[in-house]
Amino acid sequence: MKTRIQIIAIAALLAASSAFAQAPLPSPSPTATPVLDGFNVSAQIGASVTMAPNSDSAVTPIARLSVSGPLALGSVNASRLPVLHVEGELSALPGDVVDQTAGLSATLAQFKSLDFSIGLSHRVSQWLPVNNGAYIVATSVYAEAGFATRLDNEVKARDKAPRYGCAGLRFDEGVSGSFVKTGLCADQRLDGSYQATVNIKGNIAAFKLGPNAGASIYVSAILGLNVSSPAHPGLTGATRDSVNVGTLVGWGN
Protein backbone atom coordinates (compact mmCIF):
# COMPACT_ATOMS: atom_id res chain seq x y z
CA MET A 1 0.00 0.00 0.00
CA LYS A 2 2.84 2.36 0.90
CA THR A 3 4.52 1.75 -2.46
CA ARG A 4 1.24 2.35 -4.29
CA ILE A 5 0.70 5.68 -2.53
CA GLN A 6 4.23 6.83 -3.31
CA ILE A 7 3.71 5.89 -6.98
CA ILE A 8 0.45 7.88 -6.99
CA ALA A 9 2.22 10.88 -5.44
CA ILE A 10 4.97 10.78 -8.05
CA ALA A 11 2.43 10.40 -10.86
CA ALA A 12 0.47 13.36 -9.52
CA LEU A 13 3.59 15.51 -9.46
CA LEU A 14 4.41 14.51 -13.03
CA ALA A 15 0.87 15.43 -14.08
CA ALA A 16 1.16 18.76 -12.29
CA SER A 17 4.50 19.44 -13.92
CA SER A 18 2.98 18.64 -17.32
CA ALA A 19 0.16 21.09 -16.71
CA PHE A 20 2.70 23.64 -15.52
CA ALA A 21 4.62 23.27 -18.78
CA GLN A 22 1.64 23.14 -21.14
CA ALA A 23 -1.15 25.29 -19.68
CA PRO A 24 -1.55 28.40 -21.85
CA LEU A 25 -1.58 31.79 -20.17
CA PRO A 26 -2.77 34.99 -21.85
CA SER A 27 -0.27 37.49 -23.25
CA PRO A 28 3.03 35.76 -22.34
CA SER A 29 6.06 37.98 -22.60
CA PRO A 30 9.79 37.21 -22.60
CA THR A 31 10.26 40.20 -20.31
CA ALA A 32 7.47 39.26 -17.86
CA THR A 33 8.40 39.80 -14.22
CA PRO A 34 6.62 38.70 -11.05
CA VAL A 35 5.10 41.06 -8.49
CA LEU A 36 7.88 41.40 -5.92
CA ASP A 37 7.38 44.67 -4.05
CA GLY A 38 4.03 43.92 -2.42
CA PHE A 39 1.99 41.14 -0.92
CA ASN A 40 0.22 38.58 -3.07
CA VAL A 41 -3.09 37.18 -1.83
CA SER A 42 -4.85 34.07 -3.12
CA ALA A 43 -8.19 32.57 -2.05
CA GLN A 44 -9.34 29.23 -3.49
CA ILE A 45 -11.98 26.58 -2.92
CA GLY A 46 -12.26 23.08 -4.34
CA ALA A 47 -11.92 19.42 -3.48
CA SER A 48 -9.20 16.81 -3.21
CA VAL A 49 -9.04 13.04 -3.10
CA THR A 50 -7.43 11.88 0.16
CA MET A 51 -5.47 8.61 0.04
CA ALA A 52 -3.91 6.95 3.08
CA PRO A 53 -3.09 3.38 4.16
CA ASN A 54 -5.87 1.38 5.84
CA SER A 55 -8.55 3.87 4.76
CA ASP A 56 -10.78 4.30 1.77
CA SER A 57 -10.13 7.11 -0.68
CA ALA A 58 -12.65 9.94 -0.31
CA VAL A 59 -13.30 13.36 -1.80
CA THR A 60 -12.67 16.15 0.73
CA PRO A 61 -13.87 19.76 0.20
CA ILE A 62 -11.12 22.30 0.94
CA ALA A 63 -10.69 26.08 1.08
CA ARG A 64 -7.24 27.66 0.86
CA LEU A 65 -5.99 31.16 1.69
CA SER A 66 -2.37 32.19 1.13
CA VAL A 67 -0.52 35.47 1.61
CA SER A 68 3.10 36.04 0.59
CA GLY A 69 5.41 39.00 0.19
CA PRO A 70 8.84 40.45 1.00
CA LEU A 71 9.59 41.17 4.63
CA ALA A 72 10.15 44.89 3.98
CA LEU A 73 7.62 46.62 1.74
CA GLY A 74 8.92 49.55 -0.26
CA SER A 75 12.49 48.25 -0.42
CA VAL A 76 14.51 49.52 -3.37
CA ASN A 77 15.59 45.94 -4.04
CA ALA A 78 12.77 43.71 -2.82
CA SER A 79 14.01 40.77 -4.91
CA ARG A 80 16.92 40.29 -2.50
CA LEU A 81 14.67 40.06 0.56
CA PRO A 82 13.38 36.86 2.16
CA VAL A 83 9.73 36.21 1.35
CA LEU A 84 7.16 35.56 4.07
CA HIS A 85 4.56 32.85 3.34
CA VAL A 86 1.40 32.39 5.41
CA GLU A 87 -1.01 29.63 4.41
CA GLY A 88 -4.25 28.37 5.89
CA GLU A 89 -6.29 25.41 4.61
CA LEU A 90 -9.77 24.57 5.82
CA SER A 91 -11.19 21.16 5.02
CA ALA A 92 -14.43 19.32 5.65
CA LEU A 93 -14.54 15.68 6.65
CA PRO A 94 -13.98 13.21 3.78
CA GLY A 95 -17.23 12.63 1.96
CA ASP A 96 -18.91 15.78 3.31
CA VAL A 97 -20.76 18.09 0.93
CA VAL A 98 -20.28 21.80 1.65
CA ASP A 99 -23.37 23.94 0.97
CA GLN A 100 -22.16 27.28 -0.40
CA THR A 101 -25.62 28.84 -0.84
CA ALA A 102 -26.12 29.94 2.77
CA GLY A 103 -23.51 32.71 2.86
CA LEU A 104 -19.83 32.94 3.76
CA SER A 105 -20.10 32.39 7.54
CA ALA A 106 -22.43 29.39 7.16
CA THR A 107 -20.14 27.91 4.50
CA LEU A 108 -17.01 28.24 6.66
CA ALA A 109 -18.84 26.71 9.64
CA GLN A 110 -19.13 23.45 7.72
CA PHE A 111 -15.35 22.93 7.58
CA LYS A 112 -14.01 20.68 10.33
CA SER A 113 -10.21 21.08 10.28
CA LEU A 114 -7.51 23.68 9.78
CA ASP A 115 -3.89 23.37 8.63
CA PHE A 116 -1.93 26.58 9.25
CA SER A 117 1.70 27.28 8.37
CA ILE A 118 4.10 30.21 8.34
CA GLY A 119 7.48 30.17 6.63
CA LEU A 120 10.28 32.02 4.91
CA SER A 121 11.91 31.48 1.53
CA HIS A 122 14.99 33.06 0.01
CA ARG A 123 15.65 32.94 -3.71
CA VAL A 124 18.97 31.35 -4.67
CA SER A 125 18.66 31.54 -8.46
CA GLN A 126 17.83 34.08 -11.14
CA TRP A 127 14.37 34.12 -12.71
CA LEU A 128 14.93 31.79 -15.66
CA PRO A 129 12.76 32.04 -18.82
CA VAL A 130 11.01 28.83 -19.88
CA ASN A 131 9.14 28.07 -23.10
CA ASN A 132 10.46 31.15 -24.93
CA GLY A 133 9.72 33.40 -21.99
CA ALA A 134 6.11 32.35 -21.45
CA TYR A 135 7.07 31.41 -17.90
CA ILE A 136 9.81 32.46 -15.49
CA VAL A 137 10.97 30.02 -12.81
CA ALA A 138 13.15 30.55 -9.74
CA THR A 139 14.51 28.28 -7.02
CA SER A 140 14.46 29.20 -3.32
CA VAL A 141 15.43 27.59 -0.05
CA TYR A 142 12.60 27.58 2.47
CA ALA A 143 11.76 26.72 6.06
CA GLU A 144 8.32 26.59 7.63
CA ALA A 145 6.47 25.53 10.75
CA GLY A 146 2.81 24.80 11.23
CA PHE A 147 0.08 22.86 12.93
CA ALA A 148 -3.14 21.07 12.08
CA THR A 149 -6.22 21.10 14.29
CA ARG A 150 -9.80 19.89 14.46
CA LEU A 151 -12.48 22.57 14.72
CA ASP A 152 -15.12 20.37 16.40
CA ASN A 153 -15.24 18.86 19.90
CA GLU A 154 -14.88 15.22 18.92
CA VAL A 155 -11.12 14.88 19.57
CA LYS A 156 -9.27 15.32 22.87
CA ALA A 157 -7.43 18.63 23.25
CA ARG A 158 -3.96 17.04 23.21
CA ASP A 159 -4.71 15.51 19.80
CA LYS A 160 -6.03 18.68 18.21
CA ALA A 161 -2.79 20.35 17.16
CA PRO A 162 -0.17 18.03 15.61
CA ARG A 163 2.83 20.17 14.74
CA TYR A 164 5.41 20.02 11.99
CA GLY A 165 8.54 21.80 10.79
CA CYS A 166 10.08 21.52 7.32
CA ALA A 167 13.04 22.79 5.31
CA GLY A 168 13.86 22.27 1.66
CA LEU A 169 13.56 23.73 -1.84
CA ARG A 170 10.74 25.78 -3.37
CA PHE A 171 10.20 26.35 -7.10
CA ASP A 172 8.08 29.38 -8.07
CA GLU A 173 6.66 30.38 -11.45
CA GLY A 174 6.46 34.17 -11.54
CA VAL A 175 3.75 34.72 -14.17
CA SER A 176 1.01 32.33 -13.05
CA GLY A 177 1.93 32.15 -9.35
CA SER A 178 2.37 28.37 -9.46
CA PHE A 179 4.72 26.71 -6.99
CA VAL A 180 6.08 23.33 -5.93
CA LYS A 181 8.01 22.81 -2.71
CA THR A 182 9.61 19.72 -1.26
CA GLY A 183 11.41 19.30 2.02
CA LEU A 184 12.38 17.10 4.95
CA CYS A 185 10.16 17.46 8.00
CA ALA A 186 9.73 16.51 11.62
CA ASP A 187 5.99 15.84 11.53
CA GLN A 188 3.25 14.80 13.95
CA ARG A 189 0.40 14.85 11.42
CA LEU A 190 0.57 11.18 10.43
CA ASP A 191 0.13 9.45 13.78
CA GLY A 192 0.45 12.08 16.53
CA SER A 193 4.14 11.48 17.25
CA TYR A 194 7.11 13.16 15.60
CA GLN A 195 8.52 11.23 12.68
CA ALA A 196 10.76 12.00 9.73
CA THR A 197 8.80 12.70 6.56
CA VAL A 198 9.16 14.09 3.07
CA ASN A 199 6.60 16.80 2.39
CA ILE A 200 5.69 17.62 -1.23
CA LYS A 201 3.22 20.39 -1.94
CA GLY A 202 2.25 22.18 -5.12
CA ASN A 203 -0.39 24.45 -6.60
CA ILE A 204 -0.08 24.49 -10.41
CA ALA A 205 -2.12 26.89 -12.54
CA ALA A 206 -4.18 24.97 -15.13
CA PHE A 207 -6.22 27.61 -16.96
CA LYS A 208 -7.60 31.14 -16.61
CA LEU A 209 -11.21 31.92 -15.68
CA GLY A 210 -10.81 35.70 -15.73
CA PRO A 211 -8.25 38.52 -15.25
CA ASN A 212 -7.46 37.45 -11.66
CA ALA A 213 -9.23 34.09 -11.42
CA GLY A 214 -8.32 30.60 -12.47
CA ALA A 215 -8.27 26.89 -11.79
CA SER A 216 -5.29 24.93 -10.53
CA ILE A 217 -4.09 21.42 -9.74
CA TYR A 218 -3.42 20.89 -6.03
CA VAL A 219 -1.01 18.25 -4.68
CA SER A 220 -0.04 17.61 -1.07
CA ALA A 221 1.87 14.51 0.04
CA ILE A 222 3.28 13.57 3.45
CA LEU A 223 5.49 10.51 3.05
CA GLY A 224 6.88 8.83 6.16
CA LEU A 225 10.58 7.91 6.18
CA ASN A 226 11.96 4.79 7.81
CA VAL A 227 14.89 6.07 9.90
CA SER A 228 15.05 3.12 12.30
CA SER A 229 18.06 0.81 12.31
CA PRO A 230 19.31 -2.21 14.29
CA ALA A 231 21.30 0.20 16.45
CA HIS A 232 18.30 2.49 16.98
CA PRO A 233 15.20 0.28 16.69
CA GLY A 234 13.04 2.74 18.64
CA LEU A 235 13.08 5.41 15.94
CA THR A 236 9.96 5.92 13.87
CA GLY A 237 9.59 3.60 10.91
CA ALA A 238 7.46 5.19 8.20
CA THR A 239 4.20 4.14 9.80
CA ARG A 240 1.88 6.04 7.44
CA ASP A 241 1.61 8.18 4.32
CA SER A 242 -0.99 10.73 3.30
CA VAL A 243 -1.58 12.00 -0.25
CA ASN A 244 -4.09 14.61 -1.45
CA VAL A 245 -4.66 15.42 -5.13
CA GLY A 246 -7.40 17.76 -6.33
CA THR A 247 -8.49 20.88 -8.15
CA LEU A 248 -9.06 24.40 -6.86
CA VAL A 249 -10.71 27.48 -8.32
CA GLY A 250 -10.33 30.97 -6.95
CA TRP A 251 -8.91 34.46 -7.11
CA GLY A 252 -5.46 35.92 -6.66
CA ASN A 253 -3.55 39.07 -7.48
From first to last of its 253 residues, the chain has per-residue pLDDT tens of 444 444 444 444 444 444 444 444 333 333 333 444 478 899 998 888 877 666 667 778 888 999 998 887 666 666 778 999 999 998 875 555 566 666 666 666 677 788 999 999 999 998 899 888 788 999 999 999 999 887 655 544 445 578 999 999 999 998 888 999 999 999 988 877 888 899 999 999 998 888 889 999 999 999 888 766 666 555 555 567 888 899 999 988 6
Q: Which of 236, 252, 231, 241 is nearest to 57 (CA)?
A: 241
**What is the rounded end-to-end Cα distance, in angstroms, of the chain?**
40
| Whether pTM exceeds 0.85 | no
Alpha-carbon distance of 103 to 121, in angstroms, equals 35
Are 37 and 226 in contact, with CB atoms under 8 Å apart? no
Give the per-residue pLDDT at 32: 37
| C-alpha to C-alpha distance for 165 and 142, rounded to whole angstroms | 11
Q: Give the C-alpha separation, 64 to 56, whole Å.
A: 24
- Beta strands in the chain, from DSSP E residues, in sequence order: 40-51, 58-70, 83-91, 113-123, 128-130, 135-150, 163-173, 179-187, 195-210, 213-224, 241-252
Q: What angle do CA 115, 120, 126 make, to 5 degrees?
A: 125
Report the amino acid identity of residue 68.
Answer: S
Q: How far apart are CA 250 and CA 155, in angstroms?
A: 31
The pLDDT of residue 175: 85
C-alpha atoms less than 13 angstroms from C-alpha of 15 in its C-beta half-sphere: 13
* Residue among 88, 196, 179, 95 nearest 140 (CA): 179
Q: Measured between alpha carbons, how far is 207 from 147 in angstroms, rounded to an integer?
A: 31
